[in-house]
């Protein structure tokens, strides 16, 4: 339990851009091996393997590990969320949504779990349907940079610009110095039509996070697209694809 939890923390440090060093994945995989040394059929070990595979852009490997974890622990919310997250990267949206709904039934109090049906709606272009799950996450955990910035951006996607701007500007000020703060500030400048400032707001921390995780690469592409820099937007979108974003209807 301790090895798997330490692996999960390392995984989240990478996903949140706190520790964008690619060697973090090596640590996650090493901790998975420690778990398997104690229990060769540990669902949590497969969770760690699945996360590492996903972050390396190995979606088939992530699916295999995630499905094995789910077979071993079918009622584990973290496994349901991770496997569903992998599924949406290859447009298996209906299967993902079923897993997310089950996760919410089992674990209605974790804000991240609440977001996931909204992520499916976002990828399907149903932006109005996506806003409420992200609002719920934000209201449940207003101290989370993930919740604040993603809620602001979902309002942007739904063209609720007047509501989005104060959310993004508050997040940019509150989480200054983090990849999330840079992401929020860049988007806010772009919405104001301040395109040069939007590009300047992209910090090395945000770029480092985008090198390491598909989510930040995809969202950095959005920042550059809003700022009118098509070449950089396409470069980062290509990097997101290399890191596993293979949901072609969304792209």
Residue 135 has what pLDDT?
97
DSSP H helical ranges for 56-178: 59-72, 77-88, 93-106, 111-123, 127-140, 145-157, 161-174
Inter-residue contact 244 to 214 (CB < 8 Å): yes
The whole-angstrom separation of Cα 119 and Cα 36 is: 32
Question: Would the pLDDT of 16 be above 90?
Answer: no
For 93-134, write each residue's pLDDT tens digit.
999 999 999 999 999 999 999 999 999 999 999 999 999 999
- The SS3 call for residue 73 is coil
* Segment 209-215 mean pLDDT: 92
Question: Would the pLDDT of 22 be above 80?
Answer: no
Residue 30 has what pLDDT?
96
Structure confidence at residue 240 as a pLDDT band (50, 70, 90): very high
Q: How far is CA 178 from CA 83, 112, 166, in A?
A: 27, 19, 18
Question: Would the pLDDT of 168 be above 80?
Answer: yes
Q: How far is CA 106 from CA 109, 174, 213, in A?
A: 9, 32, 27
């Amino acid at each position: 339990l301790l090895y798997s939890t330490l692996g999960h923390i390392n995984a989240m440090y990478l996903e949140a851009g706190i520790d964008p060093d690619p060697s973090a994945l090596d640590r996650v995989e090493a901790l998975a091996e420690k778990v398997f040394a104690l229990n060769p059929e540990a669902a949590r070990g497969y969770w760690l393997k699945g996360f590492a595979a996903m972050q390396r852009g190995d979606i088939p490997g992530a699916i295999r590990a995630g499905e094995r974890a789910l077979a071993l622990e079918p009622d584990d919310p973290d496994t349901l969320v991770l496997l569903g997250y992998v599924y949406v990267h290859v447009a298996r949206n209906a299967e993902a949504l079923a897993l997310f709904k089950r996760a919410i039934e089992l674990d209605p109090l974790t804000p991240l779990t609440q977001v996931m049906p909204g992520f499916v709606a976002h990828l399907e272009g149903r932006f109005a349907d996506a806003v409420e799950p992200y609002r719920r996450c934000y209201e449940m955990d207003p101290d989370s940079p993930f919740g604040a910035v993603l809620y602001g951006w979902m309002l942007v996607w739904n063209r609720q610009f007047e509501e989005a701007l104060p959310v993004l500007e508050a997040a940019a000020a509150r989480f200054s110095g983090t990849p999330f703060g840079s992401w929020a500030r860049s988007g806010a400048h772009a919405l104001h039509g301040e395109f040069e400032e939007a590009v300047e707001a992209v910090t090395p921390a945000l770029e480092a996070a985008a090198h390491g995780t598909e989510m930040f690469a995809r969202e950095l592409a959005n920042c550059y697209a809003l700022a009118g820099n098509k070449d950089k937007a396409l470069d980062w979108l290509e990097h997101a694809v290399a890191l596993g974003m293979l949901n072609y209807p969304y792209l």
